[in-house]
Amino acid sequence: MLLIEPTLEYAKDIEAYRQEFLDIEGSMDGCGSLRRCATGAEWIEKSLQGKDPKYVAEGRVPATQFIYVREEDNRVVGMLQLRHCFNEYLEKYAGHIGYSVRPSERRKGYATAMLRDALPHCRALGIRDVLISCLTDNEGSRRTILANGGVYESTVHEPEMDRDLERYWIHL
């Protein structure tokens, strides 16, 4: 498995990844602007620019976008976004990392491995305590966080989307 920044080589598969989520009306956590991008190439360009503060929109923070690629068939099975710092919303609700696994590839351990592989990138950015949240009814995400050393802190209510989120910390 490879946790890498997206390249044009994966543009068509990224479009297929997006379509799987649209087909099930699923949440594209950790995918940045993927829902709003018409093409994989457009999303890749926006994702790569998102690391540079001069391209980051007001109210957003610099972030590194990763794709999780299964080497044997070069298929994108997951996406993960690592936010370099907090804004008010991220600090209260979303945390440093968001991630998702392609609907057709779930329940294979990819999320746990992808999060584990992202933690050294957090350390490289100087993040020593990583905040990750998940919906209270997302047992898979909770298990992923716990398997990576997550320690439950609290449950908060996010009013904009009227949902409850569990907050976990992973100390590096």
pLDDT digits (tens, 9 = 90+) for 11-50: 999 999 999 999 999 999 999 999 999 999 999 999 999 9
CA atoms of 101 and 114, how far apart (whole Å): 9
Summary mean pLDDT of the chain = 96
For residue 81, pLDDT over 90 is answered with: yes
Percent of the chain scored above 90 by pLDDT?
95
Segment (H or E) for 104: none
Q: Looking at this protein, which amino acid is placed at residue 118?
A: A
φ and ψ at residue 95, rounded to 5 degrees: 90, -165
Maximum Cα–Cα distance across the chain? 42
For CA atoms 114, 115, 120, 122, the dihedral sign is positive
CA 11 to each of CA 21, 46, 172: distance values in angstroms, whole numbers, following the listed order: 16, 13, 33
Residue 113 corresponds to which tokens in the numbers above? 């491995």
Residue 10 corresponds to which tokens in the numbers above? 């994966």
CA atoms of 45 and 100, how far apart (whole Å): 20
Per-residue model confidence (pLDDT) at position 130? 98
